[in-house]
Amino acid sequence: MCAPDYFSVDHNINPWMAGNTGQLDMGRAMRQWENLKQELSKTADIELMEPQPDLPDIVFTANAGFVLGNRAVASHFMPDERRAEEPYLKQWFRDQGFELCELPDDVGFEGAGDCLLDRNGPWLWAGYGFRTEIEAHPYLEKWFDRELVSIHLTDSRFYHIDTAFCPLTDGYLLYHPPAFDYESRLAIEKRVPSEKRIVVDTEDAGNFACNAVNVGKDIFVHKASRPLKSRIQKRGFRVHELDLSEFLKSGGSAKCLTLRLTEPGGA
Ligand code: ARG
State residue 155's pLDDT score.
98
Q: Is residue 192 part of a domain?
A: yes
Q: Is the pLDDT of residue 125 over 50?
A: yes
Sheet holding 71-74, edge to edge: 65-68, 71-74, 99-101
State residue 263's pLDDT score.
79
Q: Is residue 148 part of a domain?
A: yes
Q: Is the pLDDT of residue 265 over 80?
A: no
Q: Is residue 56 part of a domain?
A: yes
Residues 240-259 have a mean pLDDT of: 98
Residues 54-83 have a mean pLDDT of: 97
Q: Is residue 94 part of a domain?
A: yes
Per the structure, the count of domains in the chain is 1
Report the SS3 class of residue 59: coil
Residues 230-248 have a mean pLDDT of: 98
| pLDDT tens per residue, range 138-155 | 999 999 999 999 999 999
Mean of the per-residue pLDDT values of the chain: 97
- % of the chain residues with pLDDT over 70: 99
- % of the chain residues with pLDDT over 90: 97
Å from CA of 133 to ligand 1 middle: 16
Q: Is the pLDDT of residue 127 over 50?
A: yes
Report the SS3 class of residue 241: strand
Q: Is residue 7 part of a domain?
A: no
Helix (H) or strand (E) holding 36: helix 26-40
- Decide whether any atom of ligand 1 lies within 6 Å of the 200 Cβ: no
| pLDDT tens per residue, range 177-226 | 999 999 999 999 999 999 999 999 999 999 999 999 999 999 999 999 99
Residues 245-255 have a mean pLDDT of: 98
Å from CA of 194 to ligand 1 middle: 29
CATH number of the domain at 38, please: 3.75.10.10
| pLDDT tens per residue, range 25-46 | 999 999 999 999 999 999 999 9
Q: Is residue 2 part of a domain?
A: no
Q: Is residue 176 part of a domain?
A: yes
State residue 266's pLDDT score.
53
Q: What is the C-alpha to C-alpha distance for residues 37 and 116, in angstroms, rounded to an integer?
A: 21
Q: Is the pLDDT of residue 267 over 80?
A: no
Domain residue limits at 205? 15-257
**Among all residues, which ones are annotated catalytic?**
160, 256
- Decide whether any atom of ligand 1 lies within 6 Å of the 111 Cβ: no
Q: What is the pTM of this model?
A: 0.97
Q: Are 48 and 1 in contact (CB under 8 A)?
A: yes
Q: Is residue 8 part of a domain?
A: no
In sequence order, what DSSP letters do the residues of 145-167 get, joined into one string? TSEEEEEEB--GGG-SGGGTEEE
- Decide whether any atom of ligand 1 lies within 6 Å of the 32 Cβ: no
